Amino acid sequence: RIMKMGILELVLPPGREISTRTVSKDTMVSGRQLQQGMEMPDGVTADSSYTSGVLFQQYLMNHLGNYTDPSKESLAYQMEYVFGGRDNDIDNLKSVASKLLFIREGVNFACLMADNVKRTEAQALAAAIASGFLVPPAAVVIESALLLCWAFAESVLDVRGKIPLVKTSADWQISLSNLSSLMEGLDSMRKNNEHGLSYEDYLQVLILPVSKEKKVMRAMDMIEDAIRKKGRANFYMDSCVVALEAFAEVKANRKKEFQVIRQYCYE
């Protein structure tokens, strides 16, 4: 029953307002037919290194909003948009939360499988349930189901707080006997680890595998939108001049001639 609940209802604190803002992707860089300029030789080569990608992503984290630090532009959760690419804040936040919950569930299941004490506890309960239903051979299947449910419940608590990537027994939050009361004790059971990863840390990890093309295009969507909101309603990223060369020939009184060439570009 809990697994079928809405993802945001599970992982967000009660009473926390969620942005319902939307955008029209047809008018954005990634959704419209872009103008093409004339290339000029500038001697600059694209840097496709891993370090360059990390620095670009850090730039986005510093300048774009996210769930913990919303933007005042058309979309409040801009970094979630870079990850999900949906036209509204709710769907982008759902895509991040679902992926984060999926990752935590896998990590927590692996932790359970490596913890002999917790596995013994699950085996004992599974054997008791199987015996109660008079089907002892089903104990193995029931044990697997219990471990999956246990990992899922722990993951819900993880996403609501600050936790390490890989846990020890001391970091574990919910006991097997408390699974049935998960929704009643979401905040009382949770343990925050100051040395753990925050939501923004996990957000960066999730965005890292997104293709460079998608990150760049979606980032330009948000940058273009931000500039429009600052009073330049007709601003278009693809209409910006990157470099310009101008030539002028001036004649004065048929006696003097001047030729001037000027080049302008961003350093």
Q: Which residues contact 74 (CB under 8 A, 6 or more apart)?
A: 21, 22, 23, 225, 229
List the alpha helices (DSSP H) in 30-172.
Answer: 50-63, 78-84, 89-114, 116-132, 139-159
What predicted TM-score, i.e. pTM, was given to this entire model?
0.81
pLDDT tens per residue, the chain (267 residues)?
777 778 888 888 777 789 999 999 888 999 888 888 777 666 667 777 888 888 999 999 999 999 999 998 889 999 999 999 999 999 999 999 999 999 999 999 999 999 999 999 999 999 999 988 888 888 999 999 999 999 998 898 888 878 887 788 888 888 888 888 877 766 777 777 777 888 898 899 999 999 999 999 999 999 999 888 888 888 898 888 777 888 988 887 777 788 889 888 765
Q: Which residues contact 223 (CB under 8 A, 6 or more apart)?
A: 237
The number of residues making up the chain comes to 267
Residue 216 phi, psi (nearest 5): -65, -45
| pLDDT at res. 160 | 82
| pLDDT at res. 196 | 80
| pLDDT at res. 175 | 87
Residue 150, classified by CB atoms within 10 Å of its CB into exposed (0-12), middle (13-18) or buried (19+), is: buried
254 Rama sector, left if φ>0, alpha if ψ -120 to 50, beta otherwise: left
